[in-house]
Amino acid sequence: MRHHNATLKSMMPHLTRRAFAVLAALVVTALLSAPVAPASAQTTTIKVWLHDHPPRVAIDKAIVAEFEKANPDIKVQYDVIPVGEYGQKLLTAFASGSGPDVFMNSILLVSQYQSAKILAPVDFAGLGYADEKALTSQYLTGFDGIRFGGKLYGLPIEVSNWVCYANNAIWKEAGLDPDKDFPKTWEALPAVMEKLTKRDANGVPTRRGFDFLWPNRNMFWFVLSSMFHQQGKDMVDAQTGKMAFDTPAAARAVQYMVDYANKYRLGGPQYGDARSDFLGGRLGTECSFGLFGIPQMKTANLQYTIKPAPRFADAASDNGFDAYAFYMMVNARSTPANQKAAWKYARMYLDRSVELFEKAGLFVPRPEVLASPGYKSDPNIGLIVDELKKAKFAPSIPGYDQVLDILLKGRDQMVQGGQPAASVLPAINDEMNTALARARTRAGG
Amino acid sequence: MGGNAATQAAEAADAAAQPPSIVTRLFGGWPRRSERPPLDIRWWGLGFVLPVVMFFAVFSVFPVFFGFYLSLTDYDLLSPPLFVGLDNFRNLVSDKLFLTALVNTLIFVVGATVPVWAASLAAALLFDQVFRGRDVVKAIFFLPVLPPAVVIAVIWRLLLHPNGIATSTVGWFSGISEIPWLANTVLAPLAMIVVHDWAAIPFFMLIWLAGLAGIPQEARDAAAVDGAGALQRFWYIDLPLLRPTSLLVASLATINAFQSFVLQFVLSSDQGGPANSTLVLGLLVFKYGFQYFRMGDAAAVSVVMFAIIMSVTLLQLRLGRRVY
């Protein structure tokens, strides 16, 4: 052992405990001080996080460059995050106290963030508008999904709504003309779609006329809410704030979709993605594309006709599908200086709405967009915007994903399990209200 | 008897000649002062292992304890955590979603361990034999292990389309042209098990093969000389000698099955559907934490998962210690 130690000693320089402690302290100090970059007291740096949309990124970079040139005292740290990672990354960033100053999110999640008091109310002066009216009058619609307690908490940067698209070739093959034969009501839809459907010897559809976008989690929320609105009702009661799935309006809307799958056997959750099938020529009609679908149809070399969404025959409201939006928001936990700079940046972003529409397909209904050559040159957009004007916004609630999962469980019990809506709906309504109440209580709302 | 005493004495002498192992040093007492290395050399040693220890402490030890702390809070990730004591654990007892996920997980674990254990052993016994083209067939059989779980799930999603290849295969015999493999509350959990087992069996087969390779041929030959048939040789020679391998396969398969997440996340409809029939605990942790903004509940479920996995593994290890 003694010999072994002597060998080691001869191989290593002599180091005392004190020398080692000094060395370790130096290393730790160096490590701790390395990330701290000297910042000028005059410069404000804002973090901007947007999810990836390749056609928009180049415009974003130009906006950042222009903004920094116009505001030499503000630096922009711009990050593009892949769509699939965006929600989690945003969540963990806020959890660790390093959330961005400017960020975007879907209408379906803004309520959660607003409840957690992360969203700063819109600073109209910071944006360069006299008041709320001066801002909102610049838009046909878009702010209903971001208004909480009478205050606005964000700016619409993409407003969208679904309409129906008919595959002209499939309709023609069935001896139908979309312009004449497209059903105006939900009640008339199954008979027309049956004509477009091809079945095998067992009656299984080998080509569907129309199907809902079942694999999309949010579809059920949007379509059901639209059907509630057509009946003059709200899926989330405006007075009580509770889910209204124990009402006749819910029973009618849900039963329609259950019957479409089980009684008429025209589609259902077991089939593939309706959008892909439509683009692949395996589905005659698709009703979950907005403006964003047109480039995809052109790429697929598909001849189509755009039609408004069906309504209930006795509809109390002439709306098609609900509208939805992505919003640009400012972090309420940022310093006042950062918030001020953030709203300034948001204003510059809004002012590029024509370019964002024409080059990146991000539509906001502002006068300059409606007057742009890109808008006027597309004959289809008029119908979509007409539908948008009539549309109401899908409700945004805290705890959305949990409430939606309960709704989807109920859907599965009815569509796949064959359980009657009369027993399933009251049960899931109670479950949804419990989840909603918990989310609101936790959020302090 | 005398022979045994002599052997024990020889083993004791051997042990005395060996330097004390780390286990002895940790649990059998600190070495005498005269045996310890000089102080400066020990500091060097500490310096070399410190980065790894710190890395392990920050990224492994701290999250475990922080996760346990979070399980005692109500935390939505967006607001500061509120300490609620054991409320999250109490609530789990009456949480229908947790109970559903627990039952689903147990069913999945049974389906993903017992058949895997048996089928991988059978495959290993097959490939332990010498036959023409064995290596090629073995390589093909091993292929499902290579792609990531996400890729496997996506491929099977296509195969299990209601009008896809799986349906066509069944339809060849039955005439059925549509089977909702992933949209039926009975078929969907079964599909998860089948896909999991398809990918897991070849992996565990390799472990069994390694175990079989360690069995001395002399033992089998001696049994054959004594008149033991193939089945008897397997039962009385191979299987007892494969006990450590068997334990390893059972433990790993159980732990993997309990932690299953990717398959259910990608392959099932609506991440755990239809009607929560494929919702397992791993998926529930994700949903609670990152979709429902209930990180406290997610952490509580994780702690329960940890306790279950640890208990089952300890039980398996204890059973495996039995000597016939």
> CATH code at B126?
1.10.3720.10
Shortest Cα distance from B256 to chain A (angstroms)? 25
Q: How far apart are CA B282 and CA A429, in angstroms?
A: 26
B180/A116 Cβ within 8 A? no
B43/A15 Cβ within 8 A? yes
Is the residue at B181 inside a domain?
yes
Angle (deg, nearest 10), helices A248-262 and A400-415: 50
Q: For residue B192, give both structure tokens.
A: 């998860």
Interface test with B, best of A408, A428, A432, A436 (most B CBs within 10 A): A408
Q: How far apart are CA A140 and CA A201, in angstroms?
A: 51
Contacts of B76 in chain A (CB under 8 A): 116, 442-443
In Å, what is the CA distance from A363 to each residue of A146, A309, B80? 17, 20, 37
Which ranges of B57-95 does DSSP label H, i.e. alpha helix?
A: 62-70, 87-93
Q: For A202, which of B38, B76, B177 is closest by C-beta distance?
A: B177
Write out pLDDT tens, residues B90-119: 999 999 999 999 999 999 999 999 999 999
Quick one: DSSP state of residue A308?
P
A399/B293 Cβ within 8 A? yes
Q: Is B166 in the same domain as B250? A: yes
Q: How far apart are CA A331 and CA A47, in angstroms?
A: 10
In Å, what is the CA distance from A281 to each residue of A176, A300, B144? 16, 9, 33
Q: Model pTM?
A: 0.82
Contacts of B44 in chain A (CB under 8 A): 12, 15, 20
Q: Is B93 in the same domain as B14? A: no
Chain centroid, CA A224 distance in Å: 17
Q: Is B123 in the same domain as B263? A: yes
Write out pLDDT tens, residues A111-132: 989 988 999 999 999 999 999 9
The neighbour count for residue A174, using CB atoms within 10 Å, is 19
Residues above pLDDT 90, as percent of chain A: 72
Shortest Cα distance from B264 to chain A (angstroms)? 15
CATH match of A44-160+324-390 with 3.40.720.10: no
Q: Is B103 in the same domain as B20? A: no
- Residue reference for tokens 């879907």: A106
Confidence band for A422, pLDDT divided at 50, 70 and 90: very high
Contacts of A412 in chain B (CB under 8 A): 183, 185, 270, 273-275
Is the residue at B57 inside a domain?
no
Whether A88 contacts chain B with CB within 8 A: yes
B34/A417 Cβ within 8 A? no
Q: Is A205 helix (H, G, I), strand (E, B) or coil?
A: strand
Spatial contact of B94 and B105, defined as CB atoms under 8 Å apart: no
Spatial contact of A364 and A157, defined as CB atoms under 8 Å apart: yes
Shortest Cα distance from A215 to chain B (angstroms)? 7
Superfamily of domain A163-320+397-443: Periplasmic binding protein-like II (3.40.190.10)
Q: Is B316 in the same domain as B210? A: yes
Confidence band for A2, pLDDT divided at 50, 70 and 90: very low
Quick one: DSSP state of residue B146?
S
Contacts of A16 in chain B (CB under 8 A): 40
Q: How far apart are CA B213 and CA B205, in angstroms?
A: 12
A116/B76 Cβ within 8 A? yes
Is the residue at B50 inside a domain?
no
Tally of domains within chain B: 2
- Residue reference for tokens 């099955």: B257
Closest CA to A287 of A320, A260, A324: A320
Structural domain of B228 = 88-320
B41/A12 Cβ within 8 A? yes
**For chain B, what is the mean pLDDT?**
87
Interface test with B, best of A11, A217, A270 (most B CBs within 10 A): A270
**Domain positions in chain A:** 44-160+324-390, 163-320+397-443
Q: For residue B219, give both structure tokens.
A: 């033992």
Is the residue at B66 inside a domain?
no
Give the E-state strand segments of A153-196 in sequence order: 155-161, 163-167
Residue A258 pLDDT > 80: yes
pLDDT given at position A444: 60
